[in-house]
Amino acid sequence: MEFRQELETGLLKQIGNIENELKIKDVASKCRLLKTENGLKVELSYTGPNASKYLQYVEKHREELTNYLLHPDDADLYEWMETSHQTSLTLKKHEKEKLILYVNFDPETMNVLTGIADENVTMKLGAPLMNICIKDMSRKAFKLSIFEMLLLADEIALAMGNEELRKMANIEMVKTYLSEIYDKFHEGPIID
């Protein structure tokens, strides 16, 4: 951990580690895949500020970056895995667990939070699947958010090999329940 003393106040301020701030999407946008005799290779084509940190990130996360660049449609899954500190191996450990999709709505803030939980409704796996405020959203944007959340849940269930969670991600009940929340609590005109 590094600290820097601020000139005006004399206080010590922690200097953040840029590697922790880097996201797979940002790094991948500065990389490309090259075909070599030994297969595919991730090449970093970035030479700007903190290039060495980007290079370290590429070295540490080469496999994830390769998969990300090969399957750009799976971007949400890789970002969720990064945020929740999961890997393919850690997800596999949840294959036999009884997991459910969890929905929490706060009528005061109009925030909808969804995630993966166990039977005791204890949030599992770190990061939420969706965390949105429906106050200023159109019905169409909300429906798209639900669809993207269910796709992400399905991808996570597939990565785990968890059939029960996969069934949960496909059920009509989640979509109906969330739509009812929107219709009941959305104060503005319901724009489709």
Per-residue pLDDT reduced to its tens digit, 144-184: 888 888 888 888 888 888 888 888 777 677 777 788 888 88
pLDDT tens-digit map of 16-32: 444 457 888 888 888 88
Dihedral of the CA atoms 29, 31, 32, 36 (nearest 10)?
-160
Percent of the chain's residues with pLDDT above 70? 85
Q: What is the pTM of this model?
A: 0.67
Range 66-84 average pLDDT: 82
Token pair of 36 as six digits: 């070599």
Distance CA 154, CA 151 (A): 5
The one-letter code for the residue type at 124 is K
Q: Structure tokens of 169?
A: 């991600």
How many angstroms separate the CA atoms of 110 and 102, rounded? Answer: 16
